[in-house]
Structure 1
Amino acid sequence: MTELLDRAWPVLADWRLPAAVIATIVAGLMRGYSGFGTAVILAPVYSLLWGPRAGVPVMLLMELLVSLQLVPSALKDADRRVVLPLGGAAALATPLGAWILLTADGDTLRRFIGGFVLVFGLLLMSGWRYHGSRPLPLNLAVGTLAGLLKGSTGMSGPPVILYLLAGLEEAKRHRANLILFFATIAVVSVIPPLIGGLIDLAVLVRLAIVLPVMAISVPIGARLFHVIPERLYRPFAMGVLLVAGALALFG
């Protein structure tokens, strides 16, 4: 036990851990409110703080547990006809994306994550969305792209969010669709880092600190969904995405 504590202490004493906690609070509030926000905030921030190979596994494990927490309330409102093909294709493509995480240069991957989040935030701010139909082949194509991104960067959300949020459904249906999609691929996404040896003691110690923070923040964000108007939430959310992406890209 003493040896274990000695190995864990440098991780606990690292100044980057409090910074990760603050980012986790913001991401948890966004996830509970909107159904997304965990990966697009935490992937660039954790990658900046700890590097992609250390930061992405923490985020993937936390995403799995958060998704399971939100699924029961979302099942009745989600459109499974659209979401399940998206999630199935993403689950199949995730291991290939994980190969990129395991082999790519860490600094290059971190900057790609930051740039990708920055572009995604700008697209959301511009109001652009996909406004066409949602046939099965297109569902599978978007899901495959999301899976590649999930495995390599921890972020499956951006293409799916831009794709799903274009419909005329009410906000409750959008939120439920996103929650069910993320839950569908969450289990698959943690397997490659586990096999590849990326989930070590440092990852588990960081997860033990940030997971309770996320567990508290998500329900608070879910309650805020019924209180705060979307017109006030969206500018804040977009600003957070732009800051997180810029930090990872230029940090």
Structure 2
Amino acid sequence: MELIGGFTALQIAVALAAALGASFVRGLTGFGMAILLVPILALALPPVAAVVLGNCLSLLIGLTELPRLVRDSERSAWTISAMVVLATPFGLVALAATGADVARLVIALIAFSAFLAILLPRRSGAVPGRLVTGAVGVVSGLMTGYAGMPGPPVVPYYAGRALPRVTIKASMLLIFTFAAAAGLATAWWLGLLRLDLALFALLMLPVILIGNRLGTSVSGRISDPVWRAAVGLVLGGAALGALARLL
């Protein structure tokens, strides 16, 4: 039976369940919603619709938190966000120019490299050089256009440094909000942003907000080592999932 925008009751149920779990992880770690949500949505929806819907949700929840993200984020987040916006369209062009197998390989390699990077000893809280910061933004933008997942380059950049957890989470989420906006703008330009997907995202927003609030509550009660272990587990799970899809 078709309901909203031609989506079936089963598709809506899968999307809502995935949104609740992925938003909980977002609230807990400060990232992971797109990494977890898009692949699950792609099991119930066409892949393009899954990426666009994921970007819609990331933008909506980011906008609800925008004043806090602006206040608590590191200044480098603005530089990375600018590079993400510029590089996202090229990620979509690259996706169109390569086959599915090549895309899976690239995604798997980046996800696995991010997992390895988070295992390295923590660096100082000093901001890395402009070249490193710019490269993180470019790769994140390419990943946004290529797979709807800006997180793998960004997470080690912040979580791998000795920074306050509030600063890490706010910086990452600010970048992901800009990445979602860039992804949606590119989708609109390509004619892929449908009204029914936007309405579907609005339907899912309350579930996303609930999951995010629950995750944030748990995050505030756990120690920093436990939180960093959770970050590593999410990145490791994303890497294993990417490798599984590749194989």
2:201 is equivalent to residue 207 of structure 1: yes
TM norm structure 2: 0.81
2:91 is equivalent to residue 97 of structure 1: yes
Cα distance in 1, alignment partners of residues 144 and 93 from structure 2: 11
2:3 is equivalent to residue 13 of structure 1: no
The residue number in structure 1 matching 2:31 is 36
2:156 is equivalent to residue 162 of structure 1: yes
The residue number in structure 2 matching 1:149 is 143
2:61 is equivalent to residue 66 of structure 1: yes
What one-letter code is carried by the residue in structure 1 that aligns with 2:58?
Answer: E
The residue number in structure 2 matching 1:225 is 219
**Against the structure 1 CA distance between its residues 249 and 9, is the aligned structure 2 distance closer, same or farther, given a 3 Å change threshold?**
farther
**Against the structure 1 CA distance between its residues 19 and 242, is the aligned structure 2 distance closer, same or farther, given a 3 Å change threshold?**
farther
Cα distance in 2, alignment partners of residues 130 and 50 from structure 1: 40
Cα distance in 2, alignment partners of residues 243 and 10 from structure 1: 32
**Against the structure 1 CA distance between its residues 6 and 30, is the aligned structure 2 distance closer, same or farther, given a 3 Å change threshold?**
closer
Cα distance in 2, alignment partners of residues 63 and 239 from structure 1: 21
Report deviation, 1:6.
5.6
Count of residue pairs the alignment pairs up = 244
Cα distance in 2, alignment partners of residues 91 and 13 from structure 1: 35
Specify every segment of 5 or more residues in structure 2 that has no aligned partner in the other structure, as ranges.
Answer: none
Report deviation, 1:182.
2.0
Cα deviation code 1:117-167 (max 9, x no counterpart): 45544553x346676851223211211111111111111111111112232
Cα distance in 2, alignment partners of residues 237 and 166 from structure 1: 10
Question: In the alignment, is the contact (CA less than 8 A) between 1:53 and 1:102 conserved in 2?
Answer: no
What one-letter code is carried by the residue in structure 1 that aligns with 2:27?
Answer: G
**Against the structure 1 CA distance between its residues 209 and 198, is the aligned structure 2 distance closer, same or farther, given a 3 Å change threshold?**
same
Report deviation, 1:236.
5.0
What one-letter code is carried by the residue in structure 2 that aligns with 1:199?
Answer: L
Partner of 2:128, secondary structure, is coil
The residue number in structure 2 matching 1:78 is 73
Bigger drift between 207-216 and 26-35 goes to 207-216
Question: In the alignment, is the contact (CA less than 8 A) between 1:51 and 1:110 conserved in 2?
Answer: no
The residue number in structure 2 matching 1:187 is 181
The residue number in structure 2 matching 1:178 is 172
Report deviation, 1:88.
0.8
Specify every segment of 5 or more residues in structure 1 that has no aligned partner in the other structure, as ranges.
Answer: none
Cα distance in 2, alignment partners of residues 240 and 226 from structure 1: 18
Cα distance in 1, alignment partners of residues 187 and 38 from structure 2: 15
